[in-house]
A and B are shown apart, each in its own frame.
Chain A
């Protein structure tokens, strides 16, 4: 694995752990279809959460949130619907969360969480 993929994997682990501390139930990770990939699928009470995780070592190339544009957001919403079809589930409460992980390797990673964007 390349180092950037390792970092992404590491960030997703941290994010999944963070969501669980919030009392969410992580249902699935790295679900793929032809249209793309969902990093984390979780349940927050009755609501289905499609979570996108962005990880950076530093802020030199901008904040992780800035990497989530309107196109990506629209795709996440479509992927959420695709996941429900695939699992043959009806989830009327569905939202997209974005999680930023900033970890410079100093042992204190920073996790920021935006609920229900776009």
Chain B
């Protein structure tokens, strides 16, 4: 009898590795042995496979079946190996023809139907990269798998149909079984996304401007202000202002969401920046990723290339906020757990919202505020200095005035602002491409004060502040970054004194808090 040999993919984080499945049938008493570091859910595959094969009309051999997953050192989990093991065993029993370099990724139902698995997009991407472009998936995964360029993906609804394709005896197969489609397999679409519109925000001229600047330069943003001022409302409108994701970014984002098994990503390519707003009771594992065995992505990774919005930021545990410093710096999260290490991309735009004090009334004159000065200071100090250091725009949002509130419909809508943002992004890319950068927020101080140095006449006010000790060196750089974004939005070649002045204004909250 031949040795059965098929291929599948093991995912470790977003990275997939080719797994070779060998199956051998020994002439001894019936048994099914699965080797190669399977986890509990993979070990259950034995029972699924036996039933599925029987109900498909091609029962497995009544002898000792040994299936081996290679390399054994790689931890393997989940049900995605079901199909590859089944095909290897059927091959070992000579029920089907050799399957060559085809990669099989699907879970089996007891009735022999192929079920979709999570993370099919990164798995197929890895398969193509490893030089195995032929992939067989469940029908319900076909649309998602087909998003991968250069992949030759085939989808099947049942094991019987797949076995027929690989030369099983059609007399034996249960071919008339057609599972009713519980897992909808729509067309591969592009998710366009709907966001709340900027036109809903009454007044708040400063905040609207800050939001536009944040979107244009990809600057992190802190909004402080009393409850009801519209901080949350503003933050939710930021993703709508951001430009569409590029092809590569779009694949990255969709791959993460495919891994998380979010229904929204089941078949669609995510073209719009994601928006994540975890609750402030979230743990570090929920935000940065974690879980037992192999770590899974958290909110920070799901917000990759999009917006991570932390409402009531001072209410978060301090270590949760500080855990964000690494991804803010490197755009990546590396998480270690017992079963292995996973690296997830996490290049997000951070938006923090905070009340000015625990009671929330310390804005304006702050007459109603019942907090002591110490309480107020401690409250904002919960967001650590190193974290706030990375937030370019720190703005105080006041309650909207009655005069502004009346003029509903008078404000610019999202589409108008987004067009300006898109233009500003294009100008940044043109200027920054030689340095390998994309947005103003990424410019290191070395370049700001080197190649992109501004004439002394323009930076006089800044130099003066630095001299007086009002502004730190890092704060100086941040004002410059903001000034560049303001210039980009205003179609100016480089920032003028006015831009510098406005940029200083966008950091007023920092001055108030510190």
Contact = CB atoms under 8 A, between A and B. Distances in A.
Contacts of B29: 65-66, 68, 73, 98, 114, 117-118
Interface residues of B, number: 6
B27 A65 contact: no
Contact of B62 (A65, A117, A118): A65
Interface in B246-261: none
Interface of A: 63, 65-66, 68, 73, 98, 114-115, 117-118
A98 B30 CA distance: 11
Interface string B26-42: 01111000000000000
Contacts of B27: 114-115
A73 B31 CA distance: 14
Q: Output the residue of B29, B30, B62, B63 with the most chain A CB within 10 A.
A: B29
A65 B28 CA distance: 9
B62 to A, nearest CB: 4
A114 B62 contact: no
Contacts, number: 20
A27 B62 CA distance: 29
Interface in B1-52: 27-30
A114 B30 CA distance: 11
Contacts of A65: 29-30, 62-63
Contacts of A63: 30, 62
A65 B29 CA distance: 6
Interface of B: 27-30, 62-63
B28 A66 contact: no
> What are the 9 closest A-B residue pairs judged by CB atoms, nearest first?
A63-B62, A66-B30, A117-B28, A65-B30, A117-B29, A65-B29, A68-B29, A65-B62, A114-B28
Nearest to A70: B29
A73 B28 CA distance: 12
Nearest to A66: B30
Contacts of B62: 63, 65-66
Contact residues of B: prevailing secondary structure: loop
Given A65-B62, A66-B29, A118-B28, 13 more contacts: A63-B30, A63-B62, A65-B29, A65-B30, A65-B63, A66-B30, A66-B62, A73-B29, A114-B28, A114-B29, A115-B27, A117-B28, A117-B29
Contacts of B30: 63, 65-66
B93 to A, nearest CB: 14
A35 to B, nearest CB: 20
Q: Output the residue of B27, B28, B63 with the most chain A CB within 10 A.
A: B28
A67 to B, nearest CB: 10
A1 to B, nearest CB: 28
B422 to A, nearest CB: 67
B495 to A, nearest CB: 80
B216 to A, nearest CB: 69
A114 B29 CA distance: 8
A47 B63 CA distance: 24
A86 B62 CA distance: 35
Nearest to A116: B28
Contacts of A73: 29
Contacts of B28: 114, 117-118
Contacts of A118: 28-29
A63 B62 CA distance: 7
Contacts of A66: 29-30, 62
10 contacts: A63-B30, A63-B62, A65-B29, A65-B30, A65-B62, A66-B30, A68-B29, A73-B29, A114-B28, A118-B28
Nearest to A72: B29
Contacts of A68: 29
A5 B30 CA distance: 24
B13 to A, nearest CB: 40
A65 B63 CA distance: 8
A35 B477 CA distance: 89
Contacts of A115: 27
A76 to B, nearest CB: 11
B31 to A, nearest CB: 9
Contacts of B63: 65
A114 B62 CA distance: 11
B60 to A, nearest CB: 11
A65 B27 CA distance: 11
Nearest to A68: B29
A98 B29 CA distance: 8
B138 to A, nearest CB: 29
A98 B62 CA distance: 13
Nearest to B59: A59
A40 to B, nearest CB: 17
A115 B27 CA distance: 8
B315 to A, nearest CB: 59
A117 B63 CA distance: 11
Nearest to A115: B27
